[in-house]
Chains A and B, each alone.
Chain A
Amino acid sequence: MSRWRVPAIVAAAAVVLAVGTTAAPVLSQSQEVSFTYIEQQIITSIDPQAAVDESSLHSAINLYDPLVYPNVEQGTMSPRPHVAESWTVAPDGKRYTFKIRHGIKFHSGRELTAEDVAWSMDRQLQIKKGFFWIFSPVLDPGSTKVIDRYTVRFDLKDSYAPFLSGLELFFIMDKDLITANLKPGPFGDLGDYGAALLETKDAGSGPYRMERWERATEMVLTAFPDYWRGWKPGQITKVSYKIVLEEATVKTLLRSKEADMVNQWLSPPSFAELKQSPGIVVKEDPSVQLFHLEMNTKKPPLDNLKVRQAIAYAFDYDKAIQQIFIGATKAKGPVPVRVPGWNPQVPVYGHNVTKAKQLLAEAGYKPGDLTLEYVWVSSVPLERLIGLLLQSNLQEIGVKLDITGELWPHVLERATKAETTPHITAIFDTLKYPHIDSHTYGMYHPSCWGTFRCMSFYENAAATQVLEKARRAADPKEQMKLYEEAQVMIARDVPSIYVANPLHRIAFRDNVKGYRFVGLVGFDVAFYDFTIVR
């Protein structure tokens, strides 16, 4: 067993001076602190620019550094300096200039520079994987310029509100390591762009190095001694990230102390059970997820606002929260309530059967006239329960609801056209990037039609205009004001029944300290933040 020796702040300071950095890097710990994390889905790729699912993002977050980082210390997902120690934005919002921190080392030992940042962005845009779509509307390969060794500039085609926070999902890669290991591939001179190398190695500067990765079973990470943020005693030096599908096994591993932390995908009854176990903490936070029932506004009779309003009034929200989404927060509009920019003034519907009947009559429908289709994703039984609740609620106002469970790929297929999209579809929608734009523009601008996020096919020229203005607004205050305005306009048109912002839960042993959840997917499992009290 390798042992870390002597936590020496003085020595660290000396090294800081030696390498000319402003951070407190490097060093050693008195002993190995190992940690076992259990995940219930496989890591499909350790290429940080191909990662989209939670487990792959965990590898990216721990092996690589993004340009900016969510401000977890202040409990928010807004960006704070990280690899970029500062930045300026041009008044028109089209030019972002970043100063890169000195002395950040890649695991290869080479210093991270502006050249790596520009090269990484070009790679992200060219391989067209992962979060490429966040940047592709405003950046082309080549539009990231190296000004000097520690300054990089992004020239955007247009000002773009989610750009800065989107950079939290932009991971910087070791250009030299990758270009020295290219294999033949579809990218011309750049061959496979490092795909083969990234099957077995990492090319990052993050707090951990990859020691071993077996796709379906385990990834082993070890602390990178030269990490630029430095190390303190008690921090985790070795991580075993294990893949276990079976829920019962996951619980057994945590109870038997073979695991220190288990993922968020256990069922609520399992978390309730773990809460009762001695030595285990179940941490619950309001998530940045929205559960809503998307109503197809292009399909009669839901093209009639009064019918949609009638359904919204018929639904029993309290019962849904108290009996199905136990512990969740009632959703108030399309934006999850903990997302910066959520508007508390957004119109909220409540259970009111009289009003629902009245609206239905005003729309020209009598009880028994309407039959609607409700589709739920067959792997999520909770959505069926919501369907049954809605069915009984609608029965009270004389509307028949047919409930169908369908496989997720089939739901996606049906979402491509308004004609094939069901009247009502149950959808869980997590914030896709750390900006309110995700749950406003991303769900209600016509450019998203054809995807599961836009099964309402919402169209309101005035709201579209406000969303476009918000996205282009360079002034953050004006930007937020516009997004708030858009939320009200959208909620008034009732394209969805906004049901709940479910709880995010995770369980760990009570000697694990430093866990923080800010909503952005994957960033809560940053092993660098954790310490173990033995």
Chain B
Amino acid sequence: MNFRTYLLRRTLHIIPVLFGLSILIFVVSRVIPGDPVRLALGLEATGEQVEQLRRQMGLDRPLVAQYFAYFAGAVRGDFGYSLRTHRNVAQDLLDFFPATLELTSVAMLISVVVGVPLGILAAVRKDQGPDHVSRIVALIGVALPRFWLAILLQLALAYQLRLLPTIGRGPAPPVHVTGLFLVDSLVALRLDAFWTSLKYLAMPAFALSVGTLAQVMRLIRAGMIEEMRRDYALAARSYGLPPNLIIYKYLLKNAFTATLTILGLSYGFLLGNAFLVEAVFAWPGLAFYGVDALRYKDFNGVIAVTIVIGAAYALVNLATDILYGYVDPRVRYE
């Protein structure tokens, strides 16, 4: 199978997944107890008010008809009216999703940029000081709840030392292209805005990254130790190849497969589960929006968030599968 066919086939697999997800979440959102319209209109709303809004939203129609109307709208980018924000959910997604995407992407970047070298160092210095330190750091990173770490960081770096801003995303850059403040600052050629956005991003992204960072570090360590014991590594060392060349060109690539799986899963997971960190730092992201929608039974919001996160999950996994082929040619497109 060539690459194009593989890519096409994997991409097409996403469609039934999302279709199934949309049916599932649509049905679940409609059958859970409680009347979202009454909740949205305020508890003193009259029966007439409630009925009027139910009609407007098509909730008086059969469930199947409601689903197809929703589906037809979603394909056109219309995700329905939000009972919480009183506007189209698509507009909410445009506002909230970039914040989460930026936060999660930077968190993943930190996990890789910090986790991989530390993992290598622990493997190369196995059972020595750096390895012991990395073991403790990994243990803390996995065991420490993200939100608690977030509060500690906030107290230390914002409240006591005043190094970083306590909450928020900071002022929006002068140009709005992607909604990602770092990217938009660069598009506007405003390094000051880039630096400001980075300062606001630093604590939440780090707090979010710590769990994944610890996992990456341990997986790289384990993978590297295993690879270092293999014959090809011994042969390379016997030929007198420089250690860095052996580590980075041969061993790391082979040790990276398991890490890639974790990175793919973590990326998707964090997109939908950054809520606690977003709550601590008042970060206006999709998880924040999704939990609010869930609390107030804003079903159109819940459905849209689930579909967006599902789609992101599927795309990240597709990207991971493609990368597998790069790091391990044996699995290429089989």
Contact = CB atoms under 8 A, between A and B. Distances in A.
B48 A128 contact: yes
Contact of A248 (B35, B39, B84, B151): B151
A217 B169 contact: yes
A412 B34 contact: yes
A227 B257 CA distance: 66
B284 A216 contact: yes
B218 interface: no
B34 A410 contact: yes
A199 interface: yes
A486 interface: no
Interface in B91-116: 92, 95-96
A338 interface: no
Contact of A245 (B41, B95, B282): B282
Interface string B280-295: 1110100011001000
Interface string A437-479: 0000010000000011100000000000000000000000000
Contacts of A136: 46
Contact of A253 (B38, B96, B166): B166
Contacts of B34: 407-410, 412-413
A432 B95 CA distance: 33
Interface size range of chain B in the complex: 35 or more
Interface string A227-267: 00000000000000011111011001101101000000000
A42 interface: yes
A42 B39 contact: no
Contacts of A453: 43-44
Interface stretch (B154-162, B191-199, B232-240, B326-334): B154-162
Interface in B247-299: 279-282, 284, 288-289, 292, 297
A53 B45 CA distance: 13
Contacts of A50: 86
B168 interface: yes
Interface string A397-410: 00000000001111
Contacts of A413: 33-35
B102 to A, nearest CB: 14
B282 A244 contact: yes
A133 B33 contact: no
B52 interface: yes
Contacts of B154: 248-249, 252
Given A128-B48, A412-B35, A199 B168 contact: no
B32 to A, nearest CB: 8
Contacts of B41: 52, 129
Contacts of B169: 217
A258 B52 CA distance: 44
B288 A216 contact: yes
Nearest to B34: A409
Q: Which of A246, A255, A258, A453 has the most CB of B within 10 A?
A: A246
B42 interface: yes
A133 B282 contact: no
A52 B159 CA distance: 35
B49 interface: yes
B167 A242 contact: yes
Contacts of A244: 167, 282
B292 A199 contact: no
Interface string B10-38: 00000000000000000000001111101
Contacts of B244: none
A483 B157 CA distance: 57
A45 interface: yes
Contacts of B158: 252, 256
Contact of A409 (B39, B85, B168, B289): B39
Contacts of A52: 41-42, 44
B50 to A, nearest CB: 10
B125 interface: no
Contact of B85 (A215, A252, A255): A215
A245 B288 contact: yes
A45 B36 CA distance: 17
Nearest to A429: B43
B56 interface: yes
Q: Which of A42, A45, A442, A453 has the most CB of B within 10 A?
A: A42
Contact of A258 (B35, B96, B166): B166
A269 to B, nearest CB: 16
A246 B275 CA distance: 11
A195 B91 CA distance: 14
A451 B289 CA distance: 28
A218 interface: yes
B86 A245 contact: no
Contacts of B52: 128
A186 interface: yes
Contacts of A217: 168-169, 282, 284
B279 A245 contact: yes
B61 interface: no
Contacts of A129: 41, 49
A128 B169 CA distance: 36
B95 A215 contact: yes
B87 interface: yes
Contacts of B86: 44-45, 47, 50, 195
B46 A133 contact: yes
Interface in B76-95: 84-87, 92, 95
B151 A249 contact: yes
10 contacts: A130-B42, A195-B86, A215-B284, A216-B288, A216-B292, A217-B282, A246-B280, A248-B154, A249-B166, A413-B33
Given A195-B86, A243-B282, A409-B39, 11 more contacts: A132-B49, A217-B282, A242-B282, A246-B280, A249-B151, A249-B280, A249-B282, A256-B159, A258-B166, A409-B34, A409-B35
